[in-house]
Amino acid sequence: MIFFRDIYKMERIDKETARYIVLYFGNLMTGVERLALRHSRSTFKLDGVENEKLTKAYYKAGWLSLDLEVLNLLKDGDDQFMINCAERILKEDSDKVFLNYCPNCGRLARTPQAKQCRFCGFDWH
């Protein structure tokens, strides 16, 4: 496993790495970031659905938000939100984040616990 401090030379985080960090280290997100992620995922689920009752139910349940702070985080799109969130996590908590790269091809493994590469099939058990 490679800790972020070992790859800090990266200028920008790619979408795949950002999603990995948000998925597996989401506990390091702020409360507003969690609300923005929930809003983003709910918006994706409702995309193309023209059901006003369902949309109201999502707002009532807190899955969608009208909070300007939440919506501001998402103003540049979901991918940019993920990248910004991952960069903030790495900046503030880099010692708690590790990226599991394949020792053979160097690509990011599916999970932090993975021991087999999904790209080249290399097994490092």
Give residue 12's pLDDT. Answer: 78
pTM score of the predicted model = 0.83
CB burial of 32-53 (b: ≥16 within 10 Å; e: otherwise) equals ebebbbbbbebbeeeeeeeeee
3-state secondary structure of 52: helix
DSSP class of residue 107? Answer: P
Residue 11 has pLDDT above 60, yes or no: no
Residue 10 has pLDDT above 60, yes or no: no
